[in-house]
Structure 1
Amino acid sequence: MGLLLGAGIFGAWLATLVLALLAEPAGWTPAALGLVIALRTLLQTGLFILGHDAMHRTLVPGRQRLNDGLGRLALLLYAGLPYARCRRHHLRHHRFPGSRLDPDFRRAIGDGALRWYARFMGNYLSLGQLVLLLASWLAVAGGLMLLEPRQALAVPTFWVLPLVLSSFQLFLFGTYLPHRGDGSSPAGRHAVRSLGYPHLLSLLACYHFGYHREHHAHPGVPWFRLPQLRGHVPHQHGHGYGPADDSRPLRPGR
Protein backbone atom coordinates (compact mmCIF):
# COMPACT_ATOMS: atom_id res chain seq x y z
CA MET A 1 0.00 0.00 0.00
CA GLY A 2 2.79 2.44 0.90
CA LEU A 3 4.57 1.80 -2.39
CA LEU A 4 1.36 2.27 -4.41
CA LEU A 5 0.49 5.52 -2.64
CA GLY A 6 4.09 6.66 -3.03
CA ALA A 7 4.01 5.96 -6.77
CA GLY A 8 0.80 7.98 -7.00
CA ILE A 9 2.36 10.96 -5.20
CA PHE A 10 5.53 10.76 -7.30
CA GLY A 11 3.53 10.54 -10.52
CA ALA A 12 1.09 13.31 -9.63
CA TRP A 13 3.92 15.63 -8.54
CA LEU A 14 5.74 15.16 -11.84
CA ALA A 15 2.63 15.31 -14.04
CA THR A 16 1.27 18.48 -12.42
CA LEU A 17 4.68 20.15 -12.61
CA VAL A 18 5.11 19.43 -16.33
CA LEU A 19 1.53 20.41 -17.19
CA ALA A 20 1.69 23.62 -15.15
CA LEU A 21 5.03 24.64 -16.64
CA LEU A 22 3.83 24.09 -20.21
CA ALA A 23 0.33 25.58 -19.87
CA GLU A 24 -0.51 28.81 -21.65
CA PRO A 25 0.26 31.65 -19.17
CA ALA A 26 -2.70 33.77 -20.29
CA GLY A 27 -5.14 30.93 -19.70
CA TRP A 28 -5.03 30.98 -15.89
CA THR A 29 -7.92 32.42 -13.91
CA PRO A 30 -7.22 33.46 -10.28
CA ALA A 31 -9.28 30.53 -8.99
CA ALA A 32 -7.48 28.00 -11.19
CA LEU A 33 -4.12 29.51 -10.26
CA GLY A 34 -4.85 29.22 -6.54
CA LEU A 35 -6.16 25.67 -6.88
CA VAL A 36 -3.12 24.45 -8.81
CA ILE A 37 -0.70 26.11 -6.38
CA ALA A 38 -2.52 24.47 -3.46
CA LEU A 39 -2.42 21.07 -5.19
CA ARG A 40 1.26 21.47 -6.05
CA THR A 41 1.99 22.42 -2.42
CA LEU A 42 0.20 19.33 -1.13
CA LEU A 43 2.08 17.07 -3.55
CA GLN A 44 5.37 18.78 -2.69
CA THR A 45 4.71 18.02 0.98
CA GLY A 46 3.90 14.45 -0.04
CA LEU A 47 7.42 14.02 -1.40
CA PHE A 48 8.85 14.87 2.00
CA ILE A 49 6.40 12.53 3.73
CA LEU A 50 7.60 9.70 1.49
CA GLY A 51 11.19 10.56 2.35
CA HIS A 52 10.22 10.65 6.02
CA ASP A 53 8.65 7.19 5.89
CA ALA A 54 11.75 5.94 4.11
CA MET A 55 13.85 7.25 7.02
CA HIS A 56 11.83 4.94 9.27
CA ARG A 57 12.19 2.14 6.69
CA THR A 58 8.41 1.90 6.24
CA LEU A 59 8.11 3.09 2.64
CA VAL A 60 9.07 -0.38 1.33
CA PRO A 61 9.29 -2.57 4.46
CA GLY A 62 11.80 -5.39 4.30
CA ARG A 63 13.62 -4.03 1.24
CA GLN A 64 16.09 -1.57 2.68
CA ARG A 65 17.99 -0.77 -0.52
CA LEU A 66 14.83 0.02 -2.49
CA ASN A 67 13.35 1.87 0.48
CA ASP A 68 16.41 4.09 0.89
CA GLY A 69 16.75 4.63 -2.85
CA LEU A 70 13.19 5.90 -3.13
CA GLY A 71 13.71 8.01 0.00
CA ARG A 72 16.76 9.63 -1.59
CA LEU A 73 14.80 10.35 -4.76
CA ALA A 74 11.89 11.84 -2.81
CA LEU A 75 14.09 14.21 -0.81
CA LEU A 76 16.14 15.13 -3.87
CA LEU A 77 13.00 16.11 -5.77
CA TYR A 78 11.60 17.85 -2.72
CA ALA A 79 14.46 20.30 -2.20
CA GLY A 80 17.77 18.64 -3.01
CA LEU A 81 17.95 17.33 0.56
CA PRO A 82 20.61 14.74 1.46
CA TYR A 83 18.87 11.59 2.65
CA ALA A 84 21.58 10.29 5.01
CA ARG A 85 21.91 13.57 6.91
CA CYS A 86 18.15 14.08 7.12
CA ARG A 87 17.75 10.57 8.49
CA ARG A 88 20.41 11.12 11.16
CA HIS A 89 18.75 14.36 12.23
CA HIS A 90 15.26 12.90 12.24
CA LEU A 91 16.20 9.84 14.29
CA ARG A 92 17.87 12.13 16.81
CA HIS A 93 14.61 14.06 16.99
CA HIS A 94 12.80 10.84 17.88
CA ARG A 95 15.36 9.76 20.46
CA PHE A 96 15.68 13.12 22.19
CA PRO A 97 12.51 15.17 21.49
CA GLY A 98 12.47 18.53 23.19
CA SER A 99 16.06 18.33 24.43
CA ARG A 100 19.19 20.18 23.34
CA LEU A 101 20.07 17.11 21.29
CA ASP A 102 16.88 17.48 19.25
CA PRO A 103 17.78 19.26 15.98
CA ASP A 104 14.12 20.14 15.30
CA PHE A 105 13.22 21.71 18.63
CA ARG A 106 13.45 25.34 19.72
CA ARG A 107 16.49 26.35 21.77
CA ALA A 108 14.65 28.40 24.38
CA ILE A 109 11.10 28.62 25.70
CA GLY A 110 10.84 32.23 24.49
CA ASP A 111 11.71 31.42 20.89
CA GLY A 112 8.96 32.48 18.52
CA ALA A 113 7.67 30.55 15.55
CA LEU A 114 9.74 32.47 12.96
CA ARG A 115 13.04 32.00 14.80
CA TRP A 116 12.21 28.34 15.34
CA TYR A 117 11.32 27.95 11.65
CA ALA A 118 14.57 29.61 10.53
CA ARG A 119 16.65 27.29 12.70
CA PHE A 120 14.59 24.27 11.63
CA MET A 121 15.25 25.03 7.96
CA GLY A 122 18.92 25.79 8.64
CA ASN A 123 19.37 22.28 10.02
CA TYR A 124 18.31 20.72 6.72
CA LEU A 125 19.25 23.21 3.98
CA SER A 126 22.84 24.05 3.08
CA LEU A 127 24.36 26.58 0.70
CA GLY A 128 25.20 23.79 -1.74
CA GLN A 129 21.58 22.64 -1.81
CA LEU A 130 20.34 26.18 -2.39
CA VAL A 131 22.78 26.57 -5.29
CA LEU A 132 21.55 23.26 -6.76
CA LEU A 133 17.92 24.37 -6.48
CA LEU A 134 18.62 27.79 -7.99
CA ALA A 135 20.57 26.24 -10.88
CA SER A 136 17.71 23.81 -11.58
CA TRP A 137 15.10 26.55 -11.55
CA LEU A 138 17.16 28.85 -13.79
CA ALA A 139 17.87 26.05 -16.26
CA VAL A 140 14.19 25.14 -16.60
CA ALA A 141 13.13 28.80 -16.75
CA GLY A 142 15.71 29.42 -19.47
CA GLY A 143 14.34 26.51 -21.51
CA LEU A 144 10.78 27.77 -21.14
CA MET A 145 11.80 31.24 -22.31
CA LEU A 146 12.74 29.72 -25.64
CA LEU A 147 9.07 28.74 -26.04
CA GLU A 148 7.50 31.91 -24.69
CA PRO A 149 9.18 34.59 -22.52
CA ARG A 150 6.24 34.78 -20.12
CA GLN A 151 6.38 31.00 -19.67
CA ALA A 152 9.40 31.37 -17.38
CA LEU A 153 7.11 32.84 -14.70
CA ALA A 154 5.65 29.35 -14.28
CA VAL A 155 8.83 28.23 -12.49
CA PRO A 156 8.51 30.54 -9.45
CA THR A 157 4.72 30.19 -9.50
CA PHE A 158 4.34 26.41 -9.71
CA TRP A 159 7.69 25.13 -8.47
CA VAL A 160 9.37 27.62 -6.12
CA LEU A 161 6.25 28.92 -4.34
CA PRO A 162 4.83 25.44 -3.59
CA LEU A 163 8.19 24.45 -2.08
CA VAL A 164 8.20 27.50 0.19
CA LEU A 165 4.57 26.93 1.22
CA SER A 166 5.29 23.25 1.78
CA SER A 167 8.17 24.05 4.12
CA PHE A 168 5.78 26.18 6.21
CA GLN A 169 3.19 23.41 6.12
CA LEU A 170 5.64 20.76 7.33
CA PHE A 171 7.01 23.01 10.05
CA LEU A 172 3.59 24.17 11.28
CA PHE A 173 1.77 20.83 11.38
CA GLY A 174 4.70 18.46 11.78
CA THR A 175 6.88 20.33 14.26
CA TYR A 176 5.59 23.60 15.71
CA LEU A 177 2.03 22.73 16.74
CA PRO A 178 2.79 19.17 17.99
CA HIS A 179 5.92 20.17 19.93
CA ARG A 180 5.43 23.73 21.13
CA GLY A 181 3.58 22.69 24.32
CA ASP A 182 0.31 24.13 25.55
CA GLY A 183 1.16 24.99 29.14
CA SER A 184 -0.29 21.75 30.53
CA SER A 185 3.03 19.92 30.89
CA PRO A 186 5.19 20.46 33.97
CA ALA A 187 7.73 23.27 33.80
CA GLY A 188 10.80 22.28 31.88
CA ARG A 189 9.17 19.15 30.44
CA HIS A 190 8.36 18.45 26.83
CA ALA A 191 5.19 16.74 25.67
CA VAL A 192 4.39 15.54 22.16
CA ARG A 193 0.74 16.17 21.37
CA SER A 194 -1.69 15.33 18.59
CA LEU A 195 -3.85 17.94 16.89
CA GLY A 196 -7.13 16.00 16.74
CA TYR A 197 -8.31 17.20 13.33
CA PRO A 198 -11.10 15.39 11.45
CA HIS A 199 -9.84 12.73 9.04
CA LEU A 200 -9.98 14.74 5.78
CA LEU A 201 -8.54 17.87 7.37
CA SER A 202 -5.81 15.78 8.97
CA LEU A 203 -4.90 14.38 5.55
CA LEU A 204 -4.87 17.78 3.85
CA ALA A 205 -3.02 19.48 6.71
CA CYS A 206 0.05 17.24 6.60
CA TYR A 207 -0.70 13.64 5.63
CA HIS A 208 -1.95 12.74 9.12
CA PHE A 209 1.17 13.91 10.94
CA GLY A 210 -1.14 15.80 13.23
CA TYR A 211 -1.37 12.36 14.88
CA HIS A 212 2.00 13.16 16.35
CA ARG A 213 1.87 11.33 19.68
CA GLU A 214 0.85 8.27 17.70
CA HIS A 215 3.80 8.73 15.36
CA HIS A 216 6.31 9.12 18.19
CA ALA A 217 4.86 6.12 19.98
CA HIS A 218 4.97 3.94 16.85
CA PRO A 219 7.44 5.42 14.32
CA GLY A 220 7.30 2.18 12.35
CA VAL A 221 3.70 2.88 11.29
CA PRO A 222 3.43 4.60 7.87
CA TRP A 223 1.62 7.89 7.44
CA PHE A 224 -1.61 6.48 5.99
CA ARG A 225 -2.13 4.17 8.99
CA LEU A 226 -1.66 6.76 11.71
CA PRO A 227 -5.43 7.44 12.07
CA GLN A 228 -5.86 3.77 13.09
CA LEU A 229 -3.83 4.49 16.22
CA ARG A 230 -6.14 7.23 17.48
CA GLY A 231 -7.16 6.41 21.03
CA HIS A 232 -4.56 3.64 21.39
CA VAL A 233 -1.72 5.88 22.60
CA PRO A 234 -2.19 7.25 26.13
CA HIS A 235 -1.52 10.93 26.73
CA GLN A 236 1.69 11.31 28.68
CA HIS A 237 4.39 13.85 29.37
CA GLY A 238 8.00 13.16 28.73
CA HIS A 239 10.54 12.85 26.01
CA GLY A 240 9.80 9.92 23.78
CA TYR A 241 7.87 6.75 23.39
CA GLY A 242 9.89 4.17 21.55
CA PRO A 243 12.91 3.48 19.39
CA ALA A 244 13.19 5.82 16.43
CA ASP A 245 14.17 3.07 14.01
CA ASP A 246 11.44 0.60 14.95
CA SER A 247 9.96 -0.36 11.61
CA ARG A 248 7.76 -3.22 12.77
CA PRO A 249 4.22 -2.78 11.46
CA LEU A 250 1.44 -2.38 13.99
CA ARG A 251 -1.43 -4.81 13.69
CA PRO A 252 -4.83 -3.18 13.19
CA GLY A 253 -6.63 -2.85 16.49
CA ARG A 254 -3.50 -3.29 18.54
Structure 2
Amino acid sequence: MSDNYKNRGVIIASLVVILWIGHLLYGLLEVEIAADNPWVYLHILVQTHLFTGLFITGHDGMHGTIKPHSPVINKVFGTAASFLYAGLSFTKLKKNHQKHHNHPGTPEDPDYCERSQNFFVWYFTFMWRYLTIWQILVMAVLFNVLGVWFSESRLILLWIVPAFLSTFQMFYFGVYAPHKQPHLNQMMPYRSRTMNKNHIWAFLSCWFFGYHYEHHQSPWTPWWKLHAVKK
Protein backbone atom coordinates (compact mmCIF):
# COMPACT_ATOMS: atom_id res chain seq x y z
CA MET A 1 0.00 0.00 0.00
CA SER A 2 1.45 3.37 -1.04
CA ASP A 3 2.19 6.10 1.49
CA ASN A 4 -0.26 8.40 -0.34
CA TYR A 5 -3.05 5.88 0.17
CA LYS A 6 -2.15 5.44 3.84
CA ASN A 7 -2.20 9.23 4.28
CA ARG A 8 -5.31 9.87 2.20
CA GLY A 9 -7.39 10.59 5.31
CA VAL A 10 -4.81 13.12 6.51
CA ILE A 11 -4.78 14.79 3.10
CA ILE A 12 -8.59 14.98 2.97
CA ALA A 13 -8.84 16.28 6.55
CA SER A 14 -6.19 18.91 5.76
CA LEU A 15 -8.07 20.00 2.64
CA VAL A 16 -11.33 20.42 4.57
CA VAL A 17 -9.61 22.60 7.18
CA ILE A 18 -7.76 24.62 4.52
CA LEU A 19 -10.92 25.14 2.47
CA TRP A 20 -12.84 26.22 5.58
CA ILE A 21 -10.14 28.76 6.53
CA GLY A 22 -9.56 29.91 2.96
CA HIS A 23 -13.20 30.46 2.11
CA LEU A 24 -13.87 32.19 5.41
CA LEU A 25 -10.97 34.59 4.87
CA TYR A 26 -12.02 35.21 1.27
CA GLY A 27 -15.53 36.05 2.40
CA LEU A 28 -14.38 38.33 5.19
CA LEU A 29 -11.90 40.14 2.94
CA GLU A 30 -13.51 40.23 -0.48
CA VAL A 31 -17.29 39.65 -0.50
CA GLU A 32 -19.41 42.78 -0.81
CA ILE A 33 -21.96 42.81 2.01
CA ALA A 34 -25.25 43.99 0.50
CA ALA A 35 -28.80 42.64 0.66
CA ASP A 36 -29.08 42.75 -3.15
CA ASN A 37 -25.78 40.90 -3.71
CA PRO A 38 -26.67 37.24 -4.50
CA TRP A 39 -23.05 36.17 -3.95
CA VAL A 40 -23.41 36.87 -0.23
CA TYR A 41 -26.07 34.16 0.07
CA LEU A 42 -24.02 31.72 -1.99
CA HIS A 43 -20.97 32.26 0.23
CA ILE A 44 -23.12 31.74 3.33
CA LEU A 45 -24.32 28.39 1.95
CA VAL A 46 -20.80 27.32 0.94
CA GLN A 47 -19.40 28.26 4.34
CA THR A 48 -22.27 26.41 6.04
CA HIS A 49 -21.37 23.27 4.11
CA LEU A 50 -17.69 23.70 5.00
CA PHE A 51 -18.58 24.16 8.67
CA THR A 52 -20.40 20.82 8.53
CA GLY A 53 -17.37 19.25 6.87
CA LEU A 54 -15.20 20.68 9.63
CA PHE A 55 -17.36 19.06 12.30
CA ILE A 56 -17.38 15.72 10.48
CA THR A 57 -13.59 15.90 10.25
CA GLY A 58 -13.56 16.23 14.03
CA HIS A 59 -16.00 13.33 14.18
CA ASP A 60 -13.66 11.15 12.12
CA GLY A 61 -10.94 12.04 14.59
CA MET A 62 -13.15 10.61 17.36
CA HIS A 63 -13.36 7.33 15.48
CA GLY A 64 -9.66 7.28 14.65
CA THR A 65 -10.32 7.17 10.91
CA ILE A 66 -8.27 10.19 9.78
CA LYS A 67 -5.15 8.08 10.09
CA PRO A 68 -5.84 4.57 11.44
CA HIS A 69 -3.58 3.32 14.24
CA SER A 70 -2.33 6.87 14.86
CA PRO A 71 -4.13 8.25 17.94
CA VAL A 72 -1.95 11.36 18.07
CA ILE A 73 -2.78 12.41 14.48
CA ASN A 74 -6.47 11.75 15.04
CA LYS A 75 -6.48 13.74 18.28
CA VAL A 76 -4.61 16.67 16.69
CA PHE A 77 -7.03 16.93 13.77
CA GLY A 78 -10.06 16.19 15.92
CA THR A 79 -9.11 18.80 18.51
CA ALA A 80 -8.32 21.45 15.88
CA ALA A 81 -11.51 20.83 13.86
CA SER A 82 -13.73 20.81 16.96
CA PHE A 83 -12.18 24.02 18.28
CA LEU A 84 -12.39 25.82 14.94
CA TYR A 85 -16.01 24.76 14.53
CA ALA A 86 -17.25 26.49 17.68
CA GLY A 87 -14.74 26.21 20.51
CA LEU A 88 -15.92 22.65 21.22
CA SER A 89 -14.09 20.25 23.49
CA PHE A 90 -12.90 17.26 21.49
CA THR A 91 -12.58 15.18 24.67
CA LYS A 92 -16.19 15.83 25.72
CA LEU A 93 -17.48 15.24 22.19
CA LYS A 94 -15.63 11.94 21.94
CA LYS A 95 -16.91 10.73 25.29
CA ASN A 96 -20.54 11.53 24.45
CA HIS A 97 -20.24 10.19 20.93
CA GLN A 98 -19.05 6.85 22.24
CA LYS A 99 -22.18 6.73 24.41
CA HIS A 100 -24.24 7.49 21.32
CA HIS A 101 -22.76 4.51 19.49
CA ASN A 102 -23.13 2.25 22.51
CA HIS A 103 -26.79 3.19 23.16
CA PRO A 104 -28.25 4.76 19.96
CA GLY A 105 -31.82 5.99 20.21
CA THR A 106 -32.20 5.15 23.91
CA PRO A 107 -32.36 7.22 27.14
CA GLU A 108 -28.63 6.52 27.63
CA ASP A 109 -27.86 8.20 24.29
CA PRO A 110 -26.82 11.85 24.93
CA ASP A 111 -27.88 12.75 21.37
CA TYR A 112 -31.40 11.36 21.77
CA CYS A 113 -34.42 13.19 23.19
CA GLU A 114 -36.67 10.74 24.98
CA ARG A 115 -39.26 13.26 26.17
CA SER A 116 -40.14 14.63 22.72
CA GLN A 117 -39.76 13.80 19.04
CA ASN A 118 -40.55 17.38 18.05
CA PHE A 119 -37.74 18.71 15.86
CA PHE A 120 -37.18 21.96 17.75
CA VAL A 121 -37.57 20.51 21.25
CA TRP A 122 -35.04 17.81 20.36
CA TYR A 123 -32.72 20.31 18.66
CA PHE A 124 -32.57 22.68 21.65
CA THR A 125 -32.21 19.75 24.06
CA PHE A 126 -29.33 18.44 21.93
CA MET A 127 -27.63 21.83 21.76
CA TRP A 128 -28.07 22.50 25.50
CA ARG A 129 -26.32 19.22 26.37
CA TYR A 130 -23.20 20.26 24.47
CA LEU A 131 -23.12 23.98 25.25
CA THR A 132 -20.61 25.08 27.90
CA ILE A 133 -19.64 28.37 29.52
CA TRP A 134 -16.08 27.78 28.30
CA GLN A 135 -17.30 27.51 24.71
CA ILE A 136 -19.30 30.74 24.99
CA LEU A 137 -16.27 32.57 26.43
CA VAL A 138 -13.95 31.24 23.70
CA MET A 139 -16.32 32.30 20.92
CA ALA A 140 -16.84 35.73 22.52
CA VAL A 141 -13.08 36.28 22.72
CA LEU A 142 -12.57 35.14 19.11
CA PHE A 143 -15.38 37.41 17.92
CA ASN A 144 -13.83 40.43 19.61
CA VAL A 145 -10.33 39.61 18.39
CA LEU A 146 -11.51 39.18 14.80
CA GLY A 147 -13.51 42.38 15.21
CA VAL A 148 -10.21 44.27 15.22
CA TRP A 149 -9.82 43.50 11.49
CA PHE A 150 -13.35 42.76 10.26
CA SER A 151 -16.70 44.47 10.69
CA GLU A 152 -19.38 42.91 12.89
CA SER A 153 -21.72 42.52 9.90
CA ARG A 154 -19.10 40.47 8.02
CA LEU A 155 -18.37 38.29 11.02
CA ILE A 156 -22.05 37.69 11.72
CA LEU A 157 -23.04 36.95 8.12
CA LEU A 158 -20.03 34.92 7.00
CA TRP A 159 -18.90 33.25 10.24
CA ILE A 160 -21.66 33.15 12.87
CA VAL A 161 -24.66 32.55 10.59
CA PRO A 162 -23.01 29.65 8.66
CA ALA A 163 -21.94 28.04 11.94
CA PHE A 164 -25.49 28.31 13.25
CA LEU A 165 -27.04 26.97 10.04
CA SER A 166 -24.56 24.10 10.08
CA THR A 167 -25.90 22.92 13.44
CA PHE A 168 -29.32 22.45 11.84
CA GLN A 169 -27.77 20.62 8.89
CA MET A 170 -25.86 18.20 11.11
CA PHE A 171 -28.70 17.75 13.57
CA TYR A 172 -31.29 16.94 10.92
CA PHE A 173 -29.23 14.57 8.76
CA GLY A 174 -27.01 13.12 11.49
CA VAL A 175 -29.33 12.86 14.49
CA TYR A 176 -33.01 13.62 13.96
CA ALA A 177 -33.81 11.96 10.62
CA PRO A 178 -31.81 8.77 11.32
CA HIS A 179 -32.88 8.19 14.93
CA LYS A 180 -36.41 9.58 15.32
CA GLN A 181 -39.26 7.22 16.10
CA PRO A 182 -40.80 4.92 15.06
CA HIS A 183 -37.86 2.55 15.46
CA LEU A 184 -38.67 -0.11 12.88
CA ASN A 185 -37.26 -3.61 12.66
CA GLN A 186 -35.04 -2.72 9.70
CA MET A 187 -33.40 -0.02 11.83
CA MET A 188 -32.10 -2.49 14.39
CA PRO A 189 -29.77 -2.93 16.18
CA TYR A 190 -28.70 0.71 15.77
CA ARG A 191 -32.17 2.30 15.84
CA SER A 192 -31.03 4.14 12.75
CA ARG A 193 -32.44 4.62 9.28
CA THR A 194 -30.51 5.72 6.20
CA MET A 195 -31.18 7.88 3.14
CA ASN A 196 -31.73 6.45 -0.30
CA LYS A 197 -28.64 5.88 -2.41
CA ASN A 198 -27.71 9.12 -4.17
CA HIS A 199 -24.08 9.99 -3.68
CA ILE A 200 -24.31 13.57 -4.97
CA TRP A 201 -27.20 14.45 -2.67
CA ALA A 202 -25.62 12.46 0.18
CA PHE A 203 -22.49 14.59 -0.06
CA LEU A 204 -24.27 17.93 -0.52
CA SER A 205 -26.74 17.27 2.27
CA CYS A 206 -24.27 16.21 4.94
CA TRP A 207 -20.97 14.78 3.68
CA PHE A 208 -22.40 11.23 3.30
CA PHE A 209 -23.52 11.30 6.94
CA GLY A 210 -27.09 10.63 5.85
CA TYR A 211 -25.88 7.08 5.18
CA HIS A 212 -26.30 6.74 8.89
CA TYR A 213 -27.15 3.08 9.34
CA GLU A 214 -23.95 2.38 7.44
CA HIS A 215 -22.01 4.65 9.78
CA HIS A 216 -23.23 2.76 12.85
CA GLN A 217 -22.61 -0.53 11.08
CA SER A 218 -19.08 0.50 10.11
CA PRO A 219 -17.88 3.30 12.45
CA TRP A 220 -14.29 2.65 11.40
CA THR A 221 -15.12 3.88 7.86
CA PRO A 222 -14.27 7.58 7.25
CA TRP A 223 -16.95 9.89 5.85
CA TRP A 224 -15.43 9.91 2.37
CA LYS A 225 -15.71 6.11 2.08
CA LEU A 226 -19.22 5.70 3.51
CA HIS A 227 -20.68 5.69 0.01
CA ALA A 228 -18.74 2.48 -0.65
CA VAL A 229 -20.47 0.81 2.30
CA LYS A 230 -23.90 1.82 1.03
CA LYS A 231 -25.55 -1.12 -0.74
TM-score by length of 2: 0.90
C-alpha distance in structure 1 between counterparts of 2:83 and 2:165, whole Å: 17
C-alpha distance in structure 2 between counterparts of 1:74 and 1:41, whole Å: 14
Q: Which AA in structure 2 matches 1:214?
A: E
Provide the aligned C-alpha RMSD in A. 1.9
Task: Write out per-residue CA displacement over residues 205-224 of structure 1, whole angstroms, 9 at most, x where no aligned residue.
Answer: 11001111100011000001
2:216 alignment partner in structure 1: 216
1:251 alignment partner in structure 2: none
Contact 1:197 1:210 in 2 (8 A): no
Change (3 A) 1:96 1:8: same
C-alpha distance in structure 2 between counterparts of 1:159 and 1:18, whole Å: 10
Contact 1:141 1:153 in 2 (8 A): no
Aligned length: 222
**Please, which runs of 5 or more residues in structure 1 have no aligned partner?**
145-150, 232-254
Q: 1:45 Cα shift? A: 0.6
Contact 1:53 1:223 in 2 (8 A): yes
Q: 1:184 Cα shift? A: 4.0
Contact 1:58 1:221 in 2 (8 A): yes
Change (3 A) 1:47 1:213: same
Partner of 1:142, secondary structure, is coil
Q: Which AA in structure 2 matches 1:225?
A: K
2:111 alignment partner in structure 1: 104
Change (3 A) 1:152 1:96: same
Q: Find out whether 1:74 has 2:87 as its counterpart.
A: no
Q: 1:25 Cα shift? A: 3.4
2:3 alignment partner in structure 1: none
Q: Which AA in structure 2 matches 1:166?
A: S
Larger radius of gyration: 1
Change (3 A) 1:28 1:96: same
C-alpha distance in structure 2 between counterparts of 1:190 and 1:2, whole Å: 26
C-alpha distance in structure 2 between counterparts of 1:53 and 1:129, whole Å: 21
C-alpha distance in structure 1 between counterparts of 2:34 and 2:161, whole Å: 19
Change (3 A) 1:155 1:102: same
% identical equivalent positions? 32
1:114 alignment partner in structure 2: 120
Contact 2:119 2:176 in 1 (8 A): yes
1:138 alignment partner in structure 2: 144
Q: 2:129 aligns with which of 120, 123, 126?
A: 123
Change (3 A) 1:57 1:190: closer
Q: Find out whether 1:196 has 2:202 as its counterpart.
A: no
More helix by share: 2
Q: 1:112 Cα shift? A: 0.9
Partner of 2:112, secondary structure, is coil
Q: Which AA in structure 1 matches 2:168?
A: F
Change (3 A) 1:83 1:198: same
Q: 1:40 Cα shift? A: 0.4
1:174 alignment partner in structure 2: 174
Contact 1:181 1:190 in 2 (8 A): no
Q: Which AA in structure 1 matches 2:41?
A: G
